[in-house]
A and B are shown apart, each in its own frame.
Chain A
Amino acid sequence: MFVIDKLPETIGNQLTEKWLFHSVSDLMNDGQFGEQWLVLTEKEVSVWSTDGVQVSKLAISDITDARAVGGVGGGSLLADTKGGPVVLIRYTASLTSIFGFASKLIGAVAKGEERPTASEKEFPRNCPNCRNPLPDGSQACPVCKSNGKVLFRMLSYAKPYRIQMVAAAIMLIFTTLVELIPPILTKMILDDVLAPKDMGSTLLWIVIGLAATSLVVTLMQTVRGIIGVWIGSKLMGDLRHDVYHSLMRLSLSFFDRRQTSQFIGRVNNDSEAMRQFMTDGVIWVAGESLRVVAIFIIMFSFDWKLTLLAMLPIPLMILVSSVLWPMIGRRWYQQWRSIFRLNALVGDSLQGIRVVKAFGQETTEMSRYTAANKELVRYNIRIEGLWQGMFPVFALVAGAGSLLIWYYGGKTVLNGGISIGTLIALITYLGMLLGPLQWVSQMINWATHAISAADRVFEIMDTPSDVPETANPAHIGRVRGEVEFHQVTYGYEKHHPVLKNVNLKVAAGEMIGLVGHSGAGKSTFINLICRFYDTDEGFITIDGTDICQISQLDLRKQIGVVLQETFLFDGTIAENIAYSKPEATEEEIMRAAKIANAHDFIVRLPDGYDTRVGERGHKLSGGEKQRVSIARAIIHDPRILILDEATASVDTETERQIQEAISRLVKGRTTFAIAHRLSTLRNADRLVVLERGKIVEVGTHEELLSTEGAYFKLVEAQKEMSKIKGVENA
């Protein structure tokens, strides 16, 4: 379901025929913000201002084609005419997809081709109420949504532990009530023992009573504390678990745009902030508000007039809190962001520590850190200072209440209105009230901190995967391996396509060599087969089934990849090889390594297959790492094999051996191999030449050589290179 803005009647009324398509843009032709309407009919394309004045028109018969030309942050819709290109309308980046569709439609109408149908993806999705953009894959508008939701959602994490929570709460109620007894007892001492100077047995009993209450309170607090810690740790565990799961579920494009080191802190710190609020916070709020109510009841029963006096400062405190609340929230976020930047910086420079050292840039890195660190210190002082400053102010305001009681209460005692014991009890209760009231400021602090943490955590959880799992996956079983690209267009950034209108049909068992200049889109091509990203337009099928209809687990089972950037996990070589098949036997692991020509070098290592390759496989050379990752792909026994520069960092001899292994391996498997060293691809059944995201040539090595096109040039260039180097490896 999507909302298209209705064409204003002032424009609609002026049209002589039914229109095929209309859309509103957000820029005027001179680049200023403003609305203009594009209307397409069978005969012409016209542009109108909102009040119904025609700005321009172009007859379809004059148009040869149309295209959307993307700029940065915006774009324009161009019509090619016999007299040269014409700008129809301009728009900002948010409308890129709709005008991209418009350009195709206009082009199709002009050329009399089959007209494309619009899919939901192509329309900007705005909330019908407030016109703010809707998050992908959801109809709920976050702006119109109420703020309390985050709080409730956060609290829902406490649900599984409600029995324990209730137990803690009961204990809390009980402690609170017990804690209220001592002032009554002191009042009794004052009024019944000290004032009349009457010893009797009362004093002893009262003192025993006092001792008993403090014993009970201590006991209860201990037990409650233990329950609190238990619930808290469990909650933390649940939260971390959920965040991590959501992270794993997200698509690659989510991580492409972010520094990954940030998530380490995010998973831990944010869940800690939420935990603190939920266990300490919620229990405290419950307990303290109960205490406040109880104290007021008792105080009222002693003397309602004095109690009212004592309550005078409270409205003031509420007022101050509501003013400070949003400010504190923002400052917490500010502080969080500087921690975030600091962490990103550390993560970045440590990951690249080799480069840092290689270029001797330690001091630059240190000064970058110092700057970020200073900033964090500043924001820390800002937020901590704010709330440290708030605390005494709150105490002062609340303390004003007790001054009033001392003064007026003292007078009443002198008049004989109340007993001295009552006055002291009132003062004591008021003092006890001060505690919870100061907690108000602490609570504000906790709650805002927790809410902003929860916002970020839920943001991760709510981010829909860009490659959503289909609801009813098609059962594909073991595929034959036919892969077909149907007019696939894809760009990491939507307005900047990297693959353009790619069509290719690959038979089962065929080996395809992908060649082309660096940046031509070869890796992108295979990323799409693996469904690391979803196509912007068009679709890809395996054995005739759209890969979006296949469950991702099934899909990845069929595909074995050796990626351009080899990555090994922290673990042993054996574990790394068996990554996709943990149940693999030792023999299987060895066989896979042997095929990848890795067996020999692994055995020669002192720890053999049990060698721990640290983070990213530092301990291996580039070629060794590549061979391990080839073994990892082989053991998987995939139907579709993808090799992205799999042999780029091995010497020619090793490459020849791996080549042989691969040629054995590729039998009966659909293979996509990317290589810059063209000799690597001599076994390929067909070569596909990509140039700036477009397929420019397809054919066998011989065919392509004889046409003397792009491939021929690449081969010639390499021959040239080999001559220079004095080696011939083709």
Chain B
Amino acid sequence: MSDPNGIGNESNPNDPYEINILEPGAVSFSRSQGGVFQGVVEGKAYEEMILFRIFPFQYTTKYISVRDAKGDEIGVIRDIDQLDEESRAEMDKELQLRYFLPLVTRIDAVKQKSDLWIWDLQTNLGPTRIVMRNLHEHMQYPSVNRIILTDINGKRCEIHDWQALDGHSRNQLKDVI
């Protein structure tokens, strides 16, 4: 059901009720001098574009909704790996920036101080600290070994697979999951 391919087969591009799947050849993306994500889609140039992950928890580089600055959908890209090198790199970067979700590489410590839980983490974007009021509302499990941690202020980090972390980190996690 989450696979629009089946429906996409008989698509009519002019049908407003149809998902407009963008063909890899019809798009190219780049970054402006000012650092803004932009591109050309189906022959039309956009000086600012916004990317949405359609299944942010399930797929990070597949099913990307490409939208104009106002938020109207231009189309959907099935898999960014199909794009040309520059577009793919820029898209990847833009997604990383827009979906700020550092990947936890190591858990230094999980401490409980009075009514706050403090996580000291190493992530792919550098060290950070996450502070939670409690565990049951700030930890999500999108799949069995995947954990999303949310800070009091809304900052989020992802543990991609907690079983795959090193022993020290797993030990820290043992009593909190």
Partners in one complex: yes
**Chain A residues at the B interface, C-beta cutoff of 8 Å:** 27, 29, 31-34, 69, 71-74, 76, 78-79, 81, 83-87, 90, 92-94, 96, 124, 132-133, 135, 142-143, 145-147, 149-150, 257-258, 326-327, 329-331, 333-334, 336-337, 340-341, 455-456, 458-459, 493-495, 692
Give CA–CA (A83, B112) in the complex, Å: 50
Cβ B115 vs Cβ A85 within 8 A: no
Q: Which residues of A contact B152 (CB under 8 A)?
A: 133
A-side contacts of B154, CB under 8 Å: 73, 93-94, 96, 493-495
User: Can you pick out 16 interface pairs between chain A and chain B where the beta carbons lie within 8 Å of each other?
Assistant: A71-B98, A72-B100, A73-B155, A74-B155, A79-B34, A81-B34, A87-B35, A132-B116, A133-B152, A143-B113, A143-B114, A149-B114, A258-B137, A329-B112, A341-B136, A459-B133
Known: A84-B36, A147-B114, A327-B175. A94 touches B155 (CB 8 A): yes
Residues of chain A within 8 A (CB-CB) of B13 are: none
Contacts A87-B35, A132-B118 given; indicate if A31 touches B97 (C-beta within 8 A). yes
* Interface mask (B125-161 → A, CB under 8 Å = 1, otherwise 0): 1111001011111000000000000011111100000
Chain B residue, CB-CB nearest to A148: B114
Determine if B33 and A73 form an interchain contact, defined as CB atoms under 8 angstroms apart. Answer: no
Contact of B56 among A72, A257, A334 (CB under 8 A): A72
Across the interface, which residues of A come within 8 angstroms of B133, CB to CB? Answer: 135, 459
Task: Determine if B114 and A133 form an interchain contact, defined as CB atoms under 8 angstroms apart.
Answer: no
* Docked complex Cα distance between A237 and B107 (Å): 42
Which one of A90, A132, A330, A340 lies within 8 Å of B176 (CB-CB)? A330
Contact of B99 with A71 in the complex, beta carbons under 8 Å = yes
Shortest beta-carbon distance from A293 to chain B in Å: 31
Given A33-B127, A93-B154, A258-B137: A84 in contact with B176 (beta carbons within 8 A): no
- CB contacts (< 8 Å) of A78 on chain B: these are 36
Is A31 within 8 A of B96, CB to CB? yes
Contact B100 A86 (CB under 8 A): no
Beyond A94-B155, A334-B177, 5 extra complex contacts between A and B, CB < 8 Å: A73-B155, A79-B34, A96-B154, A330-B175, A331-B175
Which of B50, B134, B155 is A92 in contact with, Cβ under 8 Å?
B155
Check A85 against B100 for contact (C-beta < 8 Å).
no
Q: Is the interface of A mostly helix, strand, loop or mixed?
A: mixed
* Cβ–Cβ contact B100 & A84, under 8 A: no
Docked-complex contact A84 and B47, CB < 8 angstroms? yes
* In the complex, B85 has a CB within 8 A of chain A: no
Bound Cα distance A330, B127 (Å): 25
The reply on B48 being an interface residue by CB < 8 A is yes
Q: Which residues of B contact A337 (CB under 8 A)?
A: 135-136
Query: A72 CA to B96 CA in the complex, in Å?
Result: 10
Cβ A73 vs Cβ B100 within 8 A: yes
Residues of A within 8 A of B137 (CB): 257-258
Q: Report how far A11 CA is from B163 CA in the complex, Å.
A: 45
- With most chain A CB atoms within 10 A of its CB, the pick from B96, B100, B134 is B100
Is residue B58 within 8 Å, beta carbon to beta carbon, of the partner chain? no
Interface of B is mostly: loop
- Minimum C-beta distance from B136 to chain A (A): 5
Tell me, in angstroms, the Cα distance from A97 to B123 when the chains sit together: 25
* A-B complex: 7 closest residue pairs judged by Cβ atoms: A86-B34, A74-B100, A94-B153, A33-B126, A93-B154, A87-B35, A71-B98
Q: What distance in Å separates the Cβ of A35 from its nearest Cβ neighbour in chain B? A: 11
Q: Collect the chain A residues with CB atoms within 8 Å of residue B5's CB.
A: none
Judge whether B131 and A133 touch: CB under 8 Å: yes
Which residues of the partner chain B approach A455 to less than 8 Å between Cβ atoms? 115, 134
Q: Are A73's CB and B101's CB within 8 A?
A: yes
CB pair A31–B34 under 8 Å, yes or no, is no
Task: Enumerate chain B residues within 8 angstroms of A459, measured Cβ to Cβ.
Answer: 115, 133-134
B69 CB, min distance to chain A CBs, angstroms? 8
Please report the C-alpha to C-alpha distance between residue A149 and residue B113 in the assembled complex, in whole angstroms: 12
Distance in angstroms from B174 CB to nearest chain A CB is 9
Min CB distance B103 to A, Å, is: 12
A326 to B106, CA, bound (A): 22
Report B109-124 CB contacts with A as 1/0, cut-off 8 Å.
0001111101000010
Docked Cα-Cα span, A34 to B127, in Å, equals: 9
**A residues less than 8 Å from B36 (CB atoms):** 78, 84-87
CB A256 to nearest CB in B, in angstroms, measures 12
- Of A34, A79, A92, chain B has the most CB atoms within 10 Å of the CB of A92
Shortest distance in angstroms between B30's beta carbon and chain A's nearest beta carbon?
Answer: 12
A29 touches B35 (CB 8 A): yes
Residue of B nearest to A27 (CB): B100
In contact, B115 and A458 (Cβ under 8 angstroms)? yes
Q: Is the CB of B97 within 8 A of A71?
A: yes
User: Which residue of chain A is the closest to B128 with respect to CB atoms?
Assistant: A33
In the bound complex, residues from chain B placing their C-beta under 8 Å from that of A76 are: 97
Provide the bound-state CA to CA distance between A486 and B81, in Å: 47
User: From residue B80, how far is it (CB to closest CB) to chain A in Å?
Assistant: 17
Smallest Cβ distance from A332 to chain B, in angstroms?
Answer: 10
* Closest beta carbon of chain B to A279's beta carbon, Å: 24
Contact check, B34 vs A93: say whether CB atoms are below 8 A apart: no
- In the assembly, what is the distance between CA of A78 and CA of B48, in Å? 11
Instruction: Say whether B32 faces chain A, with CB atoms less than 8 Å apart.
Output: yes
User: Which residues of A lie under 8 Å from residue B32 when comparing CB positions?
Assistant: 84-86
In the complex, what residue of chain A is closest to B47 when comparing beta carbons? A84
Most buried by B among A81, A84, A135: A84
By the criterion CB–CB under 8 Å, are B134 and A456 in contact?
yes
**How close is A544's CB to chain B, nearest CB, in angstroms?**
35
Instruction: Using A81-B34, A83-B33 as known contacts, say yes or no to A150 and B125 having CB atoms under 8 A apart.
Output: no
Residues of A near B177 (CB, < 8 A) are 334
A74–B156 Cα gap in the complex (Å)?
A: 9
Contacts of A96 in B (CB 8 A): 154
The answer for the CA separation of A41 and B87 in the assembled complex, in Å, is: 37
B97 and A93 contact, CB distance less than 8 A: no
Minimal beta-carbon separation of A720 from chain B (angstroms):
14
Query: Whole-angstrom distance between the alpha carbons of A538 and B114 in the complex?
Result: 36
Complex partner residue of A72 from B93, B98, B113, B118, CB under 8 angstroms: B98
Residue of B nearest to A329 (CB): B112
Nearest A residue to B139, CB-CB: A337
Chain B residue, CB-CB nearest to A92: B155
Nearest CB of B to A270, in Å: 12
A146→B136 CA distance, assembly (Å): 23
Decide if B34 touches A146 in the complex (CB within 8 Å): no
Are B116 and A73 closer than 8 Å at their CB atoms?
no
- Quick check: B114 and A142 within 8 Å, CB to CB? yes
Min CB gap A381→B, angstroms: 14
- A142: contacting residue among B35, B98, B113, B128, CB under 8 A: B113
> What separation, in Å, do the CA atoms of A72 and B150 have in the docked complex?
12
Please tell me which one of the listed residues B35, B116, B131, B135 contacts residue A86 in the complex, with CB atoms under 8 A apart. B35
Point out which of A27, A34, A71, A83 has the most chain B C-beta atoms below 10 A from its C-beta: A71
Given contacts A31-B125, A147-B114, A334-B175, contact A72 B34 (CB under 8 A): no
Least distance between A91 CB and chain B CB atoms (Å): 9
Closest A residue to B71 using CB positions: A692
Bound complex: CA of A4 vs CA of B13, how far in Å? 53
